């Protein structure tokens, strides 16, 4: 990948983000910075679930996105229970 990743925020992501605590929002911003500048950063622990990708915010929170070359569309963010929604089939 050449250069920075373009991040696109869906309405669902924006709504989910609004509901997070300030502490978690701060962690999300830090992880999004890593995602945009260095998707291979070890703290992200990016992994694929079906057609979507996920990464760690912390041990309890995850973020899911679609990956299209240098453009990542952020789908949602929330507690680890989101994984059930995106679990491998």
Domain boundaries, the chain: 6-69
49 burial type by CB count under 10 A (0-12 exposed, 13-18 middle, 19+ buried): middle
**Partners of 7 in the β-ladder:** 72
| Token pair 């299209």 in the structure block, residue | 68
67 vs 58: CA distance, rounded Å: 21
Whether 88 has a pLDDT exceeding 60, the answer reads: no
1 pLDDT more than 50: no
Give residue-wise pLDDT tens across range 3-57. Answer: 789 999 999 999 999 999 999 999 999 999 999 999 999 999 999 988 899 999 9
Judged against a pLDDT cut of 80, whether residue 2 lies above it is answered with no
Cβ atoms of 79 and 61 closer than 8 Å:
yes
**Single pTM value for the model:** 0.89
């Amino acid at each position: 990948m050449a250069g920075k990743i373009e991040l696109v925020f869906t309405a669902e992501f924006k709504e989910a983000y609004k509901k997070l605590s300030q502490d978690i929002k701060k962690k999300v911003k830090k992880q999004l910075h890593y995602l945009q500048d260095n998707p291979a950063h070890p703290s992200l622990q990016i992994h694929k679930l079906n057609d979507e990708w996920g990464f760690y915010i912390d041990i309890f929170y995850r973020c899911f996105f679609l990956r299209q070359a240098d453009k990542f569309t952020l789908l949602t963010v929330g507690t680890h229970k989101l994984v059930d929604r995106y679990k491998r089939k």
